[in-house]
Amino acid sequence: MRTLSTKAPESADGTTGPRAPSRRRRPVREKQWPAYVFLSPWMIGAGVVTLLPMAVSLYLSFTDYNLFDAPNWVGLRNYAEMLFEDPRYWRSVGTTLLYVLVAVPLKLILALGAAMLLKNLNRGRGFYRSAFYAPSLLGASMSIALVWRALFNDGGTVPDVLAALGIDTGGWVGNPHLAVYTVVLLTVWQFGAPMVIFLAGLQQISPDLYEAAALDGAGPWRQFVAVTVPMLSPVVFFNLVLEIINSFQVFTPAFAVSSGDGGPADSTLFYTLFLYERGFTASHMGYAAAMAWLLLLAVGVITLILFRTSRSWVFYADEEGR
C-alpha cells in the first residue's frame, strides 16, 4: 500500500508541474478506505435504489413484463412497437416537445427579467426574492396542480376574468387546444428557482465593466447586450440545461390537469404520463421501461448537443487568455 501510494503521485509529477509534490507528499491513500466506510450509506443507497433498479429496468425493457406473470424475453419488440406501430407514442413526443419549446424559453426570460429588476432594488429585495421563489417550492405539489385545474376550468377564475375582458375562451381544461397551456403556465409561474440563480450570477458581474461601458457611452440596452449577456452566459447555460432536463420529465401538473389520462384527446399526453399509463394502467411494464430508456437517451443526446454548441456562445471569464 505504502509504496504504491507514494509512487503514484510521483508519476503524476511530471505533468502537473513543480509545486505538486510538496502538496501530495502526505500518504493520503492509506487513509482512503475509512472514507469509503463513511460514504457507504450513500453508496449502498445509490446502488440499491438507483443503479440496481436501472439495470432491472433495462432488462425489463426487452421483456413483456406485465406485473403479474414472469417476464418473457421479446428482444426489441417494445422498441419497435412504440417507434413504428403506436401513433400515441409520437403524439406524446410531440406534446412534450411543444411544451419544452414553449415553457423553457418563457420561464427563463421571465426569470432573467425578474432578476434584472431585483438586482437594482435596494429595499425589499429579500422580500421579493422570497415571494417570487415561493411558487417554485409549492408548484411541484399535487394540491397546487389541482388548484390550477380549478382556476382554468369552465367557470373558474381565469376564463371568467378573460370573458369579462371580452376574450371568451371557455374552460381551458376541457379544450384540447388550450389544456396544454395550463401546464405551460403552471411551469412558467415557477420561474423563481432560475431567477435566484440569475440574480446570483448578476451580482458576480464586476461593476467595473458597467462603469467602463458607461464611459464609452453605452446605454442600458447596449450594456445589457454587451456586458450582461456575455458575462451571464454560463448561468444562462446552466439554467437552460437544467430546465430542459426537468421539462422533459414533467408529470404532476399534467396528471392533475387531465385527471391522469392525458386528455382531452391526448392534448396533455406528456411523455412521462404516457409512460405511466402504459406501465400502471395497461400493465405493460416492459413497454414503459423501454420508453424510459429512450427518454434517457434523448435527453442525454440533447444535453450533449447543448454542451457542444455552448462552446460557441458561452463565455467563461476565467478561461479568457488560455
Partner 1 sequence: MPEPRSARRRPPSRRAVLTAATAGLATVLVSTLTGCSAADGGTSQGVTLTFSWWGNDNRAERTDEAVRLFEKEHPGVTVRTSNSDFGSYLQKLATQAAGGGMPDVAQLDYRQISRYAGSGALMPLGEAIGNKTIRTDEIDQQFLRTGSYEGGQYALPMGRGITGYAYDSALYAKAGVPTPQPSWTWQDWENANKKIAALGLKSPDGRPVTGANDGGGNQDVFETWLRSRGGQLYASQTRLGFTEDDLAEFWAFCDRLRREGAIAAAEDTTQANSTETSPIGRGLAAADFTWDAPFPGYAKLLGESTHFAPVPSTNGRAGSYFKPSMLVGISANTKHPKEAAQLIDFLLNDPRAGDILGFTRSTPPNRVIAANVSKTLKGPELEIYQYAQTMEKYGLAAPPTAPPPGDLPINTAFKRNYQRVMFGLATPRQAARELIEEANRELRS
Which H or E run contains 257? helix 252-257
CB closer to partner 1 out of 135 and 260: 260
CB closer to partner 1 out of 193 and 289: 289
Q: What is the SS3 assignment for 89?
A: helix
Q: What is the SS3 assignment for 251?
A: coil
> Please, which residues have CB within 8 angstroms of residue 3's CB and are 6 or more apart in sequence?
none
72 lies in the binding site for partner 1 (CB under 8 A): no
Q: Which of 18, 85, 166, 318 binds partner 1 (CB under 8 A)?
A: 85
Q: Which of 2, 22, 37, 42 binds partner 1 (CB under 8 A)?
A: 37
Least distance (Å) between residue 144 CB and partner 1: 17
CB closer to partner 1 out of 228 and 258: 258
Q: Which residues, numbered 187-226, are part of the site for partner 1 (CB under 8 A)?
A: none
Q: How many CA atoms lie within 13 A of 95 on its CB side?
A: 30
41 lies in the binding site for partner 1 (CB under 8 A): yes
State the amino acid at position 198 in one-letter form.
F
Torsion of Cα atoms, 54 then 57 then 62 then 67, to 10°: 170
Which range, of 17-25, 94-102, 107-115, 278-286, touches partner 1 by CB under 8 A? Answer: 278-286
Angle ∠(142,145,151) on CA atoms, nearest 5:
145
Least distance (Å) between residue 94 CB and partner 1: 13
Please write down the long-range contacts of 53-56, taking CB distance under 8 Å and 24 or more positions apart: none
Q: Which of 60, 144, 173, 244 binds partner 1 (CB under 8 A)?
A: 173
DSSP string, 22-54: HHH-S--GGGHHHHHHHHHHHHHHHIIIIIHHH
Q: Which of 229, 263, 296, 302 binds partner 1 (CB under 8 A)?
A: 263
Interface mask (CB under 8 A) for partner 1, residues 1-30, using x and -?
------------------------------
Write out the residues near partner 1 by the rule CB under 8 A. Answer: 34, 37-38, 40-41, 64, 66-69, 81, 85-88, 153-155, 170-171, 173-177, 259-266, 277, 280-284
